[in-house]
């Protein structure tokens, strides 16, 4: 079995070690003898939605977000087709915001997103920084997710877009409704850095399974030795700083 990975704009969006998510995803594939091939997508490249099974977009500063927003709009039709064909997306922080309808800064024009998620983000007056613990209802062997947030954007979900879970520690999407992240079909967005996937091996496996099932039907992943990953996960639960 094989998964083709589209790693979008790594030179622009790779803040707080977001590349660690790609490394965790790939290694948990390789340890099971699943081929995982990374294709870096750079500004000016075209995306073929029939090729890629898993898309990753990291976070970045405002200036990098502006550049990436322009690139994403050039690929909006292809990425929308990929979503509707049940490709898997994981997007972090700034990348997550760009998958909604828009980001509205304190001043200046809205930064338009590509509307893969029915969500929008506005600039807030408080920066949320710290560890986050989330309770989720996904079919995982452990219902807790952990990570680290560092954002001032306030994201609100609408329609069929639902939260990944609800925060028990930290602030999540907007510090008000206790939601964290978003998903629609196989598109996932989150504010959790940390990196997110190394600390959450069960969620990593969930994404791998979804990516495989796009081409191979129902898949059961064989267990691997991930004691170190679970130790990191358990150590982070409930930590505020």
Residues classed as catalytic: 93, 193
According to DSSP, the β-strands at 187-190 and 88-92 are parallel
For residue 6, give Cα distances in angstroms to 12, 46, 63, 106, 146: 15, 11, 22, 32, 24
Cβ-based neighbours of 121, under 8 Å, separated by 6 or more: 97, 100, 102, 103, 104, 153, 154, 155, 156
Query: Tokens 């209802």 appear where?
Result: 137
In angstroms, the CA 240 to CA 185 distance is 31
């Amino acid at each position: 079995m094989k998964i083709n990975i589209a790693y979008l704009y790594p030179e622009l969006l790779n803040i707080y070690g977001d590349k660690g998510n790609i490394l965790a995803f790939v290694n948990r594939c390789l340890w099971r003898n699943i081929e995982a091939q990374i294709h870096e997508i750079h500004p000016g490249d075209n995306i073929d939605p029939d090729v890629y099974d898993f898309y990753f977009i990291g976070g970045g500063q405002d200036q990098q977000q502006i550049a990436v927003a322009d690139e994403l709009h050039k690929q909006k039709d292809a990425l929308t087709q990929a979503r509707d064909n049940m490709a898997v997306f994981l997007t972090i922080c700034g990348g997550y915001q760009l998958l909604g309808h828009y980001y509205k800064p304190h001043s200046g024009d809205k930064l338009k997103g590509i509307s893969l998620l029915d969500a929008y983000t506005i600039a807030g007056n408080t920066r949320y920084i710290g560890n986050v613990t989330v309770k989720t209802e996904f079919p995982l062997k452990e219902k807790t997710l952990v990570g680290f947030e560092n954002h001032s954007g306030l994201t609100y979900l609408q329609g069929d877009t639902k939260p990944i879970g609800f925060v028990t520690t930290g602030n999540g999407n907007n510090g008000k409704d206790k939601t964290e992240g978003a998903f629609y079909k196989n598109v996932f967005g989150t504010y959790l850095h940390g990196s997110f996937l190394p600390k959450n091996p069960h969620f990593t496996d969930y994404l791998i399974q979804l990516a495989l099932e796009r081409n191979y039907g129902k898949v059961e992943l064989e267990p691997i030795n991930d004691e170190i990953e679970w130790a990191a996960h358990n150590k982070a639960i409930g930590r505020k700083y």
